[in-house]
Amino acid sequence: MSDNTAKAREIAKRLLQEGTVAMVLGWEKGDEPYVSAPTVIRDAADAERLVVDEYCIHDLAALLPDYRDRSEKIAIFAKGCDSRGIVRLIQDRVMPRERLYIIGINCPGMKDPNEFFRAASGLSKAKPAEKAAKCLSCQYPNPVVYDEIIGEPQQPQEDKRFAEVDKIESMSADERYDFFIKEFSRCIRCYACRNACVACNCRTCIFDETKPQWVRRSTDPVNNMLYQIVRSMHVAGRCVECGECERACPVGIPLMLFNRKLIKDVDQLFGPYQAGLSLEDDAIPPLSRYRVDDPDEFM
Ligand code: SF4
Ligand code: SF4
Ligand code: SF4
């Protein structure tokens, strides 16, 4: 058992025994050695199920909206990216800070179980990488908010996040359109990207509405493009760059290209601003607040 797993179990057990929290959101081993699946622990005896290993890639913060209408206090394990999602949920008033006990994990990077699934099933001949793609450009491996923390502090990766965005920006408008329409034509509208997203936390999602049906469910190029544009704009300035949408996409659409273009634009046009870094009042996303000196050259 790793030190982090032992520490995680000890903390969860203590919090449940002393009644500080009613439940703990963590990870437990799944059917395969490369799966550490999200789990909920309510009994101190079950703390022994918890693990913290190199496969704990799922963002537990994305589960918090399921508990928004309840009152119990929740302990949640949070890597750097997860902690930014928690900040966003608090700012979006989905979950009050007082209802959370955040157990931070200084994160050395995770492996992507999906790559192991594909290799094991023969769907891919590629050897799974030592680190998930999203972790190769991680700027905040250490939690930005926590009540207690485990693991050694980690260094951020070299910031190459916008290299692919720069390439897209150098294309002509027609080339860009062709590029994205080709990528989005592969979308099967499974909504895995939306479901994995901590910024997609509306009670009723526009894509589920049928009266009126704003975006048709057919997977034709126009409706697929509409889906992607609307979702990207909805998370503009709120995306915490956790990379879970792209990782969840079963057909490998490079969703982070779209997200990072908007992260770059929001940062340059309305910032400097990166989502989910602080709970201070002035850290509310620029597109979620009004100021009399907001830029208005476009009007
Ligand atoms: S993105 Fe950063 S914090 Fe998140 S799993 Fe990867 S290395 Fe850890
Ligand atoms: S849009 Fe993707 S990267 Fe951004 S918060 Fe949602 S899941 Fe994470
Ligand atoms: S996860 Fe991929 S295929 Fe599914 S809706 Fe999102 S972009 Fe489309």
Report CA(19)–ligand 1 centroid distance (Å).
30
Q: Does residue 38 line the site of ligand 1, with CB under 6 A?
A: no
Residue 1 is predicted with a pLDDT of 63
Of the candidates 217, 229, 243, 239, which has an alpha carbon nearest to the alpha carbon of residue 184? 229
Q: Does residue 257 line the site of ligand 2, with CB under 6 A?
A: no
Report CA(249)–ligand 3 centroid distance (Å).
5
| 207-261 confidence digits (pLDDT tens) | 888 888 888 888 888 899 999 999 998 999 999 999 999 999 999 999 999 899 9
pTM for the model stands at 0.93
**How far apart are alpha carbons 14 and 199 in whole angstroms?**
31
Report CA(220)–ligand 1 centroid distance (Å).
34
Name the region of 172 (left: φ>0; alpha: ψ -120 to 50; beta: rest).
Answer: beta
| 28-64 confidence digits (pLDDT tens) | 999 899 999 999 999 999 999 999 999 999 999 999 9
Could you report how far apart the first and last alpha carbons of the chain are, in Å?
59
CB 83 within 8 A of CB 143: yes
Q: Does residue 186 line the site of ligand 3, with CB under 6 A?
A: no
Position with higher pLDDT, 124 vs 85:
85
Residue nearest to atom 3 of ligand 3 (CA): 187
- Determine the average pLDDT of the residues in 263-282: 88
Percent of the chain with pLDDT over 90: 78
Q: Which two tokens stand for residue 232?
A: 């990207």
Q: Does residue 249 line the site of ligand 2, with CB under 6 A?
A: no
What is the residue type of 88?
Answer: R
- 227 CA: nearest ligand 3 atom: 5
Q: Does residue 253 line the site of ligand 3, with CB under 6 A?
A: yes
Q: Does residue 56 line the site of ligand 1, with CB under 6 A?
A: no
Position with higher pLDDT, 224 vs 292:
224
| 56-80 confidence digits (pLDDT tens) | 999 999 999 999 999 999 999 999 9
Residue 288 is predicted with a pLDDT of 80
Q: Closest ligand to 57 CA?
A: 1
**How far apart are alpha carbons 270 and 268 in whole angstroms?**
6
Packing angle between helix 221-234 and helix 173-184, nearest 10 degrees?
A: 100
**How far apart are alpha carbons 73 and 272 in whole angstroms?**
34
- Tell me the three state secondary structure of residue 65: helix
